[in-house]
Amino acid sequence: MKANWTLRGVFSAALVLSACSGKDDPNATATSPTGASTSKGTDTAGDTTTTGTSGTSGTSSAGTITTDSTDPTDPTDPTDTECNFLCGYDQGTIDIECDIWSQDCPEGEKCMPWANDGGSSWNATKCSPIDRAPQEPGEACTVEGNAVSGIDNCAKDSMCWNVDPETNGGICIPFCEGSSPDNATCDVGYYCSINGDGTVILCLPECDPLLQNCPGDDACLPSGEYFICASGDAGLYGDPCEYANACKPGLYCLNPEYVEDCKAAGCCTPFCDTSKANMCPGGTQECIPWWEEGTAPPGKENIGICGIPQ
């Protein structure tokens, strides 16, 4: 079951990452290009705060993303038990048994995020045994029990991510480097995503929304000034949508006023290249720049979205 990404605020930083269910979120809304800008260094929109800059050749990425605790999904709902992308919300008192940055657990163990309340959101840390034949970052992995159990077969510096709830299989993703969010770093092409009130620190890969260069059927979608891979759905141009990943790869969910004949809360419309001739499908749509002039991160200046100018 795919996770739903709730949309809030302007579309350059509108995502609150959630993988706690495949249920529809009644409070989710499509996004608007109005005021779509992400300044390098700090970006705040809706309930998501992004800081830092994306990596450039020969340097490390030093961005961080923090989500808050206002997601309307109810982790105590017994039907809401799957967590196959990211659950980043505080669901109660945080129990910090160990420091995930310093990995201060005893020999043979690693500090891991987990859900200590029986819910589907990471909200605590604990020391877990390291597998005798651990998988390295980038390799296939499995979790014990479920995605938020805090037990997997990844190496000490990583955790099992994007877990399939049916098979408990995923891929090992490295933890962010550094001693705190203030000096977090990742390799070039990755950014440090910090969620679950600091219990989840992962180096997630960036992608290009114009190339849609994500593995498998994943879609390249925005998160602050970054674009990251996430499971997508089957919505075509003009189809109704409520979530960022409700559309096929290459499309995104915008407010109805930006998509011709859209009668829903939002409709799917494609990303576009502002440096090329207008190829937008709607007769009155134009390729609207994703960022305001002069605010785009390096290398992302020509990213746009097809919409009716307002």
Question: How many domains is the chain partitioned into structurally?
Answer: 2
Do 244 and 176 belong together in one domain? no
**Total Cβ atoms within 10 A of residue 2:** 18
pLDDT in tens, 120-156: 889 999 999 999 999 999 999 999 999 999 999 999 9
**Helix or strand or coil: residue 12?**
helix
113: containing domain: 55-79+86-205
Asked if residue 4 has pLDDT above 80, the reply is no
Q: Which of 201, 195, 202 is nearest to 90 (CA)?
A: 195
Do 277 and 201 belong together in one domain? no
Inside any domain, residue 127: yes
Asked if residue 32 has pLDDT above 80, the reply is no
* Residue 194: pLDDT band with limits 50, 70, 90: confident
Region 61-89: mean pLDDT is: 34
Which residue among 184, 205, 226 closes a domain? 205
pLDDT of residue 259: 96
Q: Which structure tokens are listed for 215?
A: 């593995």
By mean pLDDT, which of 37-41, 215-219, 240-244 is the weakest?
A: 37-41
Asked if residue 87 has pLDDT above 50, the reply is no
Do 188 and 73 belong together in one domain? yes
pLDDT of residue 34: 34
* Residue 71: pLDDT band with limits 50, 70, 90: very low
Task: Give CA 55 to chain center in angstroms.
Answer: 17
Radius of gyration of the chain (CA): 19
* Residue 282: pLDDT band with limits 50, 70, 90: confident
* Residue 174: pLDDT band with limits 50, 70, 90: very high
Do 63 and 147 belong together in one domain? yes
